[in-house]
């Protein structure tokens, strides 16, 4: 298709302009652009609508003068036209330009004509009298030998054409159906479709030609003709029953992958075509057993084939379900389709849930029993374990009859957990009678509100049923409250109230205060039936109520009470604080309450209290707490929150004792720093035994820490640090002894990474005595060992670190190496070129960041940039002892990404209850700058209900870029063999030594491999996993870096250029 213009243009020197982006023409139209630009800038600078109007009116009057001046060239006219279009788009009248648009289409060259046609189709409408002036132009262009002119004419005809002039162009367009170019035939078909819409009787005689188009050798033309057939079949299905076979055959071919791959969209064959065909089949098979029988096979196949790897597959699947439920039913298919709906309603993607609900309405119309299985799934997926939200239920939730709206409201506001048995019965009742509630998880209120619609049961009967439910023990109190609300509602509609009275008797003595409250309310309401009727009208829940949230009507009362000397109102937290401060006189709590601002409550270990005081910078408050809690001075602290506290804490004790004046007590933090400075040398002597204890302690107490601790300035997780480091060192050691590494000893690589770690530690954990020690020992080990890169090591690291995930999850501390800063300290190296050729080969991993949480669980994730893939580890940890054994994590298939679960990751035994990990490897299938992975965690709540938590993680192209280690010769060969290249000059800030900083940036941040450095030029190579290479040649001249990319992939260089540019400009 792209060759159509090429022939026309062979005479023109377009050779060097291939692949020219549209945006490249910016400067070509600079004069116009700047004028439109100043207009736009002018508009955006304005503050009021009025000023904008003034500006545009002025612009319009200028334009008016220009367009009507006889000297105005067509080129200027073209520019004016675009400005007029802009003004009209903003809603200003530019009708004086309409005639000029027609003139431009008539007289202009190709480019001007194109703008002219566009302006006409945007300015005018079908019945506009000026449109008649266009007919001749269209006729002329339809006869043109220039394909572009024909295309333009067909386009404008399909957008806008006067009905009465159809005969003038119809024969010409019919001819185009035989045109040799596919795009022309296709546009001709759509132009005829337009005629079918506006004047069906004029195209009646060419129905035979539509059939020809349907059988066109080109799929695009056939697809276009389906628009026509969909339309005609919708109006008169019986006349086209004979085509059923053809449509089925086409669909079979499409589904069977018989189309050229060009028609694939995300490796789904021609999805839009499939959708259109399924819709047509749905229309043809409606209430027609014989016709329907023809399509059962292909529908079955479609259902079966739909691999849910992309949104668009869901689109097809949905159409399929729709068709299955539209045509003459076949029970087997109906069941299969109903099952498919589960994939929609269970999806974390809200759009799919919506469609699932929509599909459910089809199912309900056909066979409610099939829908029943999904009632439960919907309820389950709507379950929201948020008790506060549950309280907020408002009848307005049922305002809209649109299921979807209900759903959204419900989803956002509240949810409720009901025993399934109750739900089953109630929902069944509600969904049979009323269309509203199927998706609504509040059968209680719904029943109260709408049970009258059921017709079958009188209010009394419903009340009786609810009464039985209320007395049953299996119903939770939450549900009972709902049911009681329903009873209250129904009572106003009921005629006798015997049962209600019995109910009130039962529940006014209930132990549940909430129920008692409800019962009393109902009792009082019963005493005043009139009031009750007004309060609880039938079917009025859809009306908004005005609620004075500020309770201003109480102001008078409050003022009166205050004047009588009543105490002013204090909010809850204030009262609590006061209560606590009064308690300092006598404290019966063994360790005192910790009421730090970061909000951890409950009993703490002594260390917990003291650490708690750390964070409250307020010395007065701290003093207060000191007196409240245990005296810690002089007590040797051995156990802290982060485990066994060795010398350091001991020292701290000494230090706090030391100052003569207790008023000058310094906070722990400061003390720590002092200690560190003082005692660095001393700590080095810390015995091996101590370290072992430490290790044991930290491994024993990590679980505990994750439950109850809060990270205080990122300190509390030192233990896990130690633990991790330790094991890392060990690992390295063992590796050293067991296997002789064949890698050349690159002390530079490892030392650079060590140096980095040193920096890192100094930055983040300054003053940690024991860490220092660890570091020293580690350093020596590392310098001996040859490499840190092996991946088991990383896994080991991840495993270790994962044993305390919630520690990191709570704080945003950077525990792991940030990817950007790997292989730092290159500046320090004497020879730049040689240092760059060595690469820091350690696997890199991101810090663990929390992706989502609720009050029961928290999900964190981190990325490991492995050599062959990106590994993402999701770590689900429970906060409140929820059993995670059955927790299940699913990742939704994402566009551009291939995701595979890696079952290999497991935790050290014994940690499993509080944390569970899921490991996925991710590949980028198609280059893109960014992407998003979403998924959800299913887990069991205490009360056997499963709940769901959704999350998402962002992925960037750089996650999939790895160094490509090739020689200079290979680079040369590859360079010549790659066709796609991109070149760009990037300016660097003067502050940097250009070559070194650019190289460093590219090597560290994009992960290029530096192949060679010659003078001021560098050769770099990288690959997009799994194996798309990209080469970069760059040259530095003054403060300009010329980047020149080549790759076998057409899009990769662009994306990389973008990233490089960003990095270099940022650095």
Site residues (CB under 8 A) for another protein, limited to 391-430: 402, 404, 408, 411-412
722, 846, 865, 1000, 1010 from 820: Cα distances, Å: 24, 10, 12, 11, 17
Q: Smallest Cα–Cα separation from 794: which of 722, 727, 876, 706?
A: 727
Shortest distance (Å) from residue 861 CB to another protein:
19
* Footprint of another protein on 259-278 (CB under 8 A): 262-263, 265, 271-272, 275
| Residue of 62, 202, 311, 619 interacting with another protein (CB under 8 A) | 311
Smallest gap from residue 435 Cβ to another protein (A): 14
The CA-CA-CA angle for residues 870, 345, 276, to 5°, reads 90
On whether the CB atoms of residues 296 and 331 are closer than 8 A, the answer is no
> Between 353 and 625, whose beta carbon lies closer to another protein?
353
- Contacts of residue 240, defined as CB under 8 A and 6 or more positions apart, other chains included, come to 229, 232, 233, 284
Of residues 572-591, those binding another protein (CB under 8 A): none
Number of residues interacting with another protein: please give it, by CB under 8 A: 98
Q: Which is nearer to another protein, 59 or 649 (CB)?
A: 59
Q: How far is the CB of 1028 from another protein (least distance, A)?
A: 18
Cα–Cα distance measured from residue 891 to residue 918, given in angstroms and rounded to the nearest whole number: 10
Helix (H) or strand (E) holding 188: helix 182-198
Residue number with CB closer to another protein (852 or 899): 852
Minimum CB distance to another protein, residue 932 (Å): 12
How many other CB atoms sit within 10 Å of the CB of residue 444? 27
In the complex, least distance from residue 1060 CB atom to another protein, rounded to whole angstroms:
14
Contact 243, 224 (CB under 8 A): no
Q: Which of 155, 517, 751, 777 binds another protein (CB under 8 A)?
A: 155
Region of 91 please: left (phi>0), alpha (psi -120 to 50) or beta: left
Among 122, 139, 168, 704, interactor with another protein by CB under 8 A: 122
Written in H, E and C, the secondary structure of 866-907 is: CCCCEEEEEEEEECCCCCCCCCEEEECCCCCEEEEECCCCCC
Residue closer to another protein, measured from CB, 83 or 625: 83
Q: Return the residue of 59, 216, 319, 449 that touches another protein, per CB under 8 A.
A: 319
If one asks whether residue 27 binds another protein (CB under 8 A), the answer comes out as yes
Q: Would you give the DSSP letter of residue 473?
A: T
Question: C-alpha distances in angstroms, 14 versus 7, 115, 670?
Answer: 11, 21, 72
Pull the structure tokens for residue 667.
């906070």
Residue 954, CA distances (Å) to 617, 822, 862, 897, 1026 in order: 36, 21, 11, 12, 19
- Reading the block at residue 359, the tokens are 């599909």
Alpha-carbon gap, residue 90 to 913, rounded angstroms:
60
CB-CB contact of 957 with 929 (8 Å) = yes
Residue 869: CB minimum distance to another protein, A: 25
Cα 46 to chain centroid distance, Å, stands at 35
Based on the shown chain and the rule CB under 8 A, indicate whether residue 982 belongs to the binding site for another protein. yes
Contacting range for another protein; rule: CB under 8 A; set: 325-333, 588-596, 973-981, 1019-1027: 973-981
Q: Are 353 and 344 in contact (CB under 8 A)?
A: yes
- Binding positions for another protein, 427-466, rule CB under 8 A: none
Contact between 830 and another protein (CB under 8 A)? no
Q: Verify binding: residue 85, another protein, rule CB under 8 A.
A: yes
Given 20, 144, 618, 812, the residue binding another protein (CB under 8 A): 20
- Applying CB under 8 A, which of residues 746, 1044, 1048, 1067 lies at the interface with another protein? 1044
Tell whether residue 19 is a contact of another protein (CB under 8 A): yes
The residue within the footprint of another protein, chosen from 511, 568, 979, 991 (CB under 8 A), is: 979
DSSP state of 1006: I
Segment contacting another protein (CB under 8 A): 3-11, 288-296, 697-705, 911-919? 3-11
Going from the C-alpha of 618 to that of each of 577, 597, 624, 656, 837, the distances in angstroms are: 15, 11, 10, 18, 52
Rule CB under 8 A: say whether 51 interacts with another protein: no
474 binds another protein (CB under 8 A): no
Toward another protein, which CB reaches closer, 55 or 148?
Answer: 148
Assess 91 for contact with another protein (CB under 8 A).
yes
CB 723 within 8 A of CB 799: no
Site for another protein in 95-114 (CB under 8 A): 109-111, 114
Task: State the alpha helices, DSSP H only, in 814-868.
Answer: 832-837
Site string for another protein, 860-899 (x = CB under 8 A): ----------------------------------------
Token readout for 985 is: 């000059």
Distances (CA, A) of 718 to 542, 697, 714, 1049: 56, 12, 8, 46
15 counts as binding another protein under rule CB under 8 A: yes
Is 401 or 601 the residue whose CB approaches another protein more closely? 401
Given the rule CB under 8 A, which of 8-16, 363-371, 427-435, 554-562 is the region that contacts another protein? 8-16
Is 48 a binding residue for another protein by CB under 8 A? The answer is: no
Contact between 37 and another protein by CB under 8 A: the answer reads yes
Please, which residue, 351 or 828, has the CB nearer to another protein? 351
Q: Is 674 in the site for another protein (CB under 8 A)?
A: no
Does residue 544 touch another protein according to CB under 8 A?
Answer: no
Q: Per CB under 8 A, does 839 bind another protein?
A: no
Q: Residue 321 or 947: which CB sits closer to another protein? A: 321
Identify the H or E element spanning 1019. Answer: strand 1017-1024
Residues 406/542, Cβ–Cβ less than 8 Å: no
Residue placing its CB nearer to another protein in the complex, 14 or 910: 14
Kindly indicate which of the ranges 10-18, 131-139, 245-253, 430-438 contains the residues binding another protein, using the contact rule CB under 8 A: 10-18
For residues 128 and 1023, give the distance between their C-alpha atoms in angstroms, rounded to a whole number. Answer: 58
737: buried, middle or exposed (CB in 10 Å: 19+, 13-18, 0-12)?
exposed
Q: Cα separation of 154 and 179, whole Å?
A: 13
Q: Report how far residue 856's alpha carbon sits from residue 497's, in angstroms, rounded to the nearest whole number.
A: 43
Buried b (16+ CB within 10 A) or exposed e, 689-708: ebbeebbebbbebbbebbee
User: Closer to another protein at the Cβ: 22 or 546?
Assistant: 22
Smallest distance, another protein to C-beta of residue 413, A: 12
Residue with tokens 């709906």: 341
Positions 176 through 235 that interact with another protein (CB under 8 A): 183, 186-187, 190-191, 193-194, 220, 224, 227, 230, 234
Taking CB under 8 A as the criterion, which residues in 602-661 touch another protein?
Answer: none
Residue 377 DSSP SS3: helix
> Cα separation of 741 and 785, whole Å?
9
When binding is defined by CB under 8 A, the residue of 64, 75, 286, 420 that contacts another protein is 75
Q: Which stretch binds another protein (CB under 8 A): 206-214, 312-320, 657-665, 699-707?
A: 312-320
- The verdict on 1 binding another protein (CB under 8 A) reads yes
Closest CB 314 distance from another protein, rounded Å: 6
Position among 66, 72, 86, 342 found at the interface with another protein (CB under 8 A): 86
Please give the Cα distance from 209 to 201 (Å, whole number): 15
By the rule CB under 8 A, 956 interacts with another protein:
no
Q: Which of 106, 137, 158, 750 binds another protein (CB under 8 A)?
A: 158
Using CB under 8 A, which residues numbered 333 to 372 contact another protein?
350-351, 353-355
- When binding is defined by CB under 8 A, the residue of 599, 830, 976, 1015 that contacts another protein is 976
Contact between 89 and another protein by CB under 8 A: the answer reads yes
Q: What tokens appear for 746 in the block?
A: 């690159």
Which segment (443-451, 568-576, 983-991, 1011-1019) binds another protein by CB under 8 A? 983-991
């Amino acid at each position: 298709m792209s060759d159509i213009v090429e022939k026309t243009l062979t005479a023109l020197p377009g050779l060097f302009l291939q692949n020219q982006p549209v945006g490249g023409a910016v400067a070509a139209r600079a004069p116009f652009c700047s004028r439109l630009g100043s207009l736009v800038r002018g508009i955006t600078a304005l503050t009021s609508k009025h000023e904008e109007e003034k500006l545009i009116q002025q612009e319009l009057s200028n334009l008016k003068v220009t367009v009507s001046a006889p000297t105005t060239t067509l080129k200027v006219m073209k520019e004016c036209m675009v400005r007029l279009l802009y003004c009209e788009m903003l809603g200003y009248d530019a009708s004086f330009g309409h005639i000029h648009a027609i003139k431009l289409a008539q007289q202009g060259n190709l480019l001007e004509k194109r703008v002219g046609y566009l302006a006409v189709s945007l300015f005018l409408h079908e019945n506009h009298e000026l449109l008649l002036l266009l007919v001749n132009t269209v006729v002329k262009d339809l006869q043109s030998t220039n394909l572009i002119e024909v295309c333009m004419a067909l386009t404008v005809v399909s957008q806008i054409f006067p009905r009465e002039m159809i005969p003038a162009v119809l024969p010409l367009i019919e001819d185009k159906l035989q045109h040799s170019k596919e795009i022309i035939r296709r546009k001709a078909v759509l132009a005829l479709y337009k005629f079918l819409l506006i004047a069906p009787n004029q195209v009646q005689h060419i129905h035979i030609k539509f059939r020809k188009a349907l059988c066109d050798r080109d799929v695009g033309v056939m697809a276009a003709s389906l628009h026509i057939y969909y339309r005609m079949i919708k109006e008169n299905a019986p006349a086209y029953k004979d085509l059923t076979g053809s449509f089925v055959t086409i669909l079979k071919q499409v589904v069977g992958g018989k189309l050229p791959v060009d028609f694939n969209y995300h490796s789904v064959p021609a999805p839009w075509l499939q959708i259109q065909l399924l819709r047509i089949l749905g229309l043809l098979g409606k209430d027609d057993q014989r016709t329907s029988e023809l399509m059962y096979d292909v529908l079955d196949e479609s259902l079966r084939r739909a691999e849910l790897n992309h949104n668009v597959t869901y689109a097809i699947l949905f159409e399929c379900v729709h068709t299955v439920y539209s045509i003459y039913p076949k029970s087997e298919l109906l069941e299969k389709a109903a099952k498919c709906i589960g994939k929609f309603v269970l999806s974390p993607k809200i759009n799919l849930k919506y469609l699932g609900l929509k599909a459910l309405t089809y199912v309900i119309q056909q066979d409610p029993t099939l829908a029943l299985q999904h009632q439960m799934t919907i309820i389950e997926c709507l379950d929201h374990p948020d008790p506060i939200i549950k309280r907020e239920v408002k009848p307005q939730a049922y305002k809209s009859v649109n299921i979807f709206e209900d759903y959204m409201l419900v989803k956002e506001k509240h949810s409720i957990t009901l025993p399934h048995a109750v739900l089953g019965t109630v929902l069944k009742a509600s969904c049979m009678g009323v269309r509203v509630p199927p998706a609504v998880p509040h059968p209680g209120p719904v029943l109260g509100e709408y049970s009258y619609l059921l017709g079958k049961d009188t209010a009394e009967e419903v009340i009786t049923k609810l009464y039985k439910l209320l007395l049953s023990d299996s119903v939770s109190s939450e549900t009972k409250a709902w049911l009681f609300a329903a009873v209250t509602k129904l009572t106003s509609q009921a005629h006798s109230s015997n049962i209600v009275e019995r109910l009130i008797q039962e529940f006014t003595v209930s132990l549940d205060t909430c129920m008692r409250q409800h019962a009393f309310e109902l009792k009082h309401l019963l005493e005043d039936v009139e009031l009750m009727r007004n309060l609880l009208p039938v079917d009025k829940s859809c009306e908004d109520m005005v609620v004075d949230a500020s309770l201003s009507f109480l102001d008078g009362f409050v003022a009166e009470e205050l004047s009588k000397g009543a105490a002013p109102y204090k909010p809850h937290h204030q009262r609590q604080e006061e209560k606590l401060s009064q308690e300092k006189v006598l404290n019966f709590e063994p360790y005192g309450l910790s009421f730090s601002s970061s909000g951890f409550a409950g009993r703490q270990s002594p260390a917990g209290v003291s650490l708690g005081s750390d964070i409250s910078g307020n010395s007065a408050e701290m003093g207060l707490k000191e007196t409240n809690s245990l005296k810690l001075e002089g007590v040797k602290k051995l156990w802290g929150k982060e485990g066994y506290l060795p010398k350091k804490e001991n020292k701290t004790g000494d230090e706090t004792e030391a100052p003569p004046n207790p008023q000058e007590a310094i906070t722990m933090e400061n003390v720590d720093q002092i200690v560190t400075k003082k005692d660095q040398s001393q700590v080095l002597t810390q015995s091996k035994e101590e370290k072992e204890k430490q290790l044991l302690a930290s491994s024993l107490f990590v679980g505990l820490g994750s439950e109850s601790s809060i990270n205080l300035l990122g300190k509390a997780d030192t233990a896990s640090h130690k633990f991790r480091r330790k094991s890392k060192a060990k690992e390295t050691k063992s590796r050293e002894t067991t296997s002789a590494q064949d890698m050349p000893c690159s002390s530079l690589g490892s030392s650079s990474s060590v140096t980095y770690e040193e920096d890192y530690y100094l930055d983040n954990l300054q003053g940690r005595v024991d860490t220092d020690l660890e570091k020293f020992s580690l350093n020596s080990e590392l310098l001996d060992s040859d490499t840190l890169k092996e991946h088991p090591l990383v896994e080991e690291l991840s495993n270790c670190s994962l044993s305390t995930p919630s520690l990191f999850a709570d704080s945003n501390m950077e525990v792991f190496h940030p990817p950007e800063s790997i292989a730092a300290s290159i500046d320090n190296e004497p020879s730049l070129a040689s240092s760059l050729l060595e690469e820091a080969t350690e696997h890199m991993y991101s810090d663990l960041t929390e992706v989502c949480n609720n009050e029961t669980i928290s999900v964190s994730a981190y990325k490991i940039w492995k050599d062959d893939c990106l590994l993402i580890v999701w770590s689900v940890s429970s906060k409140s002892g929820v059993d995670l054994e059955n927790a299940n994590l699913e990742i939704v298939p994402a566009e551009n990404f291939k995701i595979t679960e890696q079952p290999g990751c497991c935790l050290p035994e014994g940690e499993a209850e509080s944390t569970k990990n899921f490991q996925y490897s991710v590949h980028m299938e198609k280059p893109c700058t960014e992407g998003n992975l979403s998924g959800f965690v299913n887990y069991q709540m205490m009360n056997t209900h499963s709940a769901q938590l959704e999350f998402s993680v962002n992925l960037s192209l750089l996650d999939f870029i790895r160094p490509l280690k090739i020689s200079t010769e290979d680079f040369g060969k590859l360079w010549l063999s790659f066709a796609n290249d991109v070149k760009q000059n990037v300016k660097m800030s003067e502050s940097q030594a250009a070559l070194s900083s650019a190289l460093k940036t590219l090597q560290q941040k994009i992960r290029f491999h530096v192949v060679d450095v010659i003078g001021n030029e560098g050769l770099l190579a990288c690959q997009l996993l799994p194996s798309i290479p990209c080469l970069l040649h760059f040259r530095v001249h003054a403060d300009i870096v010329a980047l020149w990319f080549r790759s076998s992939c057409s899009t990769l260089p662009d994306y990389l250029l973008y990233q490089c540019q960003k990095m270099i400009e940022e650095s």
